[in-house]
Amino acid sequence: MHDVVMLPQLFRQNGWFTADVGKIFHNGAEFEDPPSWDLMETSKEPAVDPATVIEKHQMPKPRNHSMEWEKLRLPDDQTADGRTARRAGELIRQFAQQGKPFFLGVGFHAPHCPYAAPAKYFDLHDPAKIPVPTVPDGYAKTIPEAAWYELAAQVAPNERQIREYRAAYYACISFMDAQAGIVFAALDETRLWDNTVVVFLSDNGYQTGEHGMWHKMTLFDDGTRLPLIIHAPGANGAGRTCHGLVEFVDIYPTLAELCGVKAPPDLDGRSLASALDNPAGGGKQAVYSSVGRNPDRARMISAITYLGQSVRTERWRYTEWDEGRKGVELYDERADRRELHNLAGESGYDDVKKELHNLLHVHSFTVNSR
């Protein structure tokens, strides 16, 4: 893989100063890519000083990930994400003074479990006013066991716990929004908006009770549909929404085209530059997602033995677990936006499943360590 040129490395090779602040590729040296960066200021998962905790809550039922949240007695600038935002602002002001092109990656941890944020952000979200996701009776038996990140047999939180958990999640989103605002304020101050492309995105979707599930690593829309906002100077579609299907692999060729940098010829993605001028112009025929599994749920990340693979079109989502051996799912996105009615086992959909199976396996791959 040493011949692979990552996106920031491409810009670095073309004379741009590249800087990594916060959590970009992931936490830990094994995830980083030093050839990509002139400056690396990565941060580990933020540890919370117990002395700063006003309140701490944890779900009583142990699960496969941390289901806890903490209200902090801290100003924003003394949190890990607050420091990341302010450091990014400093760099933007330095770059503006130097007048050189720059590629700046700014990575926030929030929202991420365990949910920790200054108390004022929790005050914005009243748990009593937050809706609770529901599923039909017997729903767990209608989808493959592999579809669950956690085991379906685990005891679900009660309604009060769900509301509090979701409120904590929203609090961390509000906290992260405020830190992003610090970065954007630096662009205001330096008047760089007119010649700076800005991409805002998240790394994965999330369940906070949808489908009766928690956390990430699922192949529903909740787990794979993500925020993507692009500001491109001079784009005619400013402020409008593109409803076409796109993928994060499209960001690489998009930034290369917008910035006049020649991209490698073998990229899987497709530039979105034209969609920024004409958001109604549509997107791709299909987009793809994949996630690893292990029969031992405690080893799903460290020892993947099979994959779940999903293809999403405008009308359908079709998913195969272990190439169909561990189950298949089919959802009609027009009639069932929440993806709660698995049509894979019903009559009348054989042609649809065959077409989507063929479309899925255009990009299908397998795990070697079966």
pLDDT tens readout for residues 150-165? 877 777 788 998 999 9
Mean pLDDT of the chain: 91
On whether both 211 and 340 belong to a single domain, the answer is: no
Q: Is residue 236 part of a domain?
A: no
Q: What is the pLDDT of residues 42-57, one digit of tens each?
A: 877 677 788 888 988 8
Distances (CA, A) of 239 to 25, 226, 243: 29, 18, 13
Q: Is residue 352 part of a domain?
A: yes
Q: Quick one: pLDDT at residue 62?
A: 56
Q: Is residue 143 part of a domain?
A: yes
What is the extent of the structural domain holding 76? 7-231
Closest listed residue to residue 13, CA positions, set 50, 45, 33, 38:
38
Q: Are 199 and 107 in contact (CB under 8 A)?
A: no
On whether both 295 and 188 belong to a single domain, the answer is: no
Which stretch of 34-48, 73-87, 251-265, 278-292 has the lowest confidence by average pLDDT? 34-48
Domain CATH number, residue 367: 3.30.1120
Residue 238, token pair as written in the block: 């400013």
Q: Quick one: pLDDT at residue 368?
A: 57
In single-letter form, the type of residue at position 188 comes to D
Mean pLDDT of 3-31: 91
Categorize the per-residue pLDDT at 97 as very low, low, confident or very high, splitting at 50, 70 and 90. Answer: very high
Q: Is residue 260 part of a domain?
A: no
Distance CA 331, CA 340 (A): 8
Categorize the per-residue pLDDT at 279 as very low, low, confident or very high, splitting at 50, 70 and 90. Answer: confident
Q: Is residue 270 part of a domain?
A: no
Q: Is the pLDDT higher at 283 or at 178?
A: 178
* pLDDT for 95 beyond 90: yes
Distance CA 244, CA 71 (A): 39
Q: Is residue 151 part of a domain?
A: yes
Q: Quick one: pLDDT at residue 285?
A: 93
On whether both 203 and 140 belong to a single domain, the answer is: yes
Among 199, 231, 263, give the residue marking a domain's end.
Answer: 231
Q: How many domains does the chain have?
A: 2
On whether both 305 and 222 belong to a single domain, the answer is: no
Q: Are 153 and 105 in contact (CB under 8 A)?
A: no
Distance CA 181, CA 187 (A): 10
The helix/strand/coil state of 331 is strand
* pLDDT for 284 beyond 80: yes
Q: How many residues does the chain have?
A: 370
Q: Quick one: pLDDT at residue 55?
A: 87
Q: Is residue 351 part of a domain?
A: yes
Among 187, 209, 231, give the residue marking a domain's end.
Answer: 231
Among 231, 253, 272, give the residue marking a domain's end.
Answer: 231
pLDDT above 90 coverage of the chain, percent:
69
On whether both 291 and 213 belong to a single domain, the answer is: no
Question: First CA to last CA across the chain, in angstroms?
Answer: 22
On whether both 227 and 289 belong to a single domain, the answer is: no
Categorize the per-residue pLDDT at 370 as very low, low, confident or very high, splitting at 50, 70 and 90. Answer: very low
Query: Following CA atoms 19, 24, 28, 34 in sequence, which dihedral angle do they give, to the nearest 10 degrees?
Result: -40
On whether both 221 and 322 belong to a single domain, the answer is: no
Domain CATH number, residue 132: 3.40.720.10
Q: Quick one: pLDDT at residue 295?
A: 84
Q: Is the pLDDT higher at 48 or at 355?
A: 355
Neighbours of 52 (CB within 10 A): 15
Q: Is the pLDDT higher at 326 or at 295?
A: 326
Q: Quick one: pLDDT at residue 326?
A: 96
Q: Are 321 and 327 in contact (CB under 8 A)?
A: yes
List, as one string, the DSSP characters of 211-238: GG-EES---SHHHH---EEEE-TT-TTT
Q: Quick one: pLDDT at residue 364?
A: 67
Categorize the per-residue pLDDT at 369 as very low, low, confident or very high, splitting at 50, 70 and 90. Answer: very low
Q: Is residue 264 part of a domain?
A: no
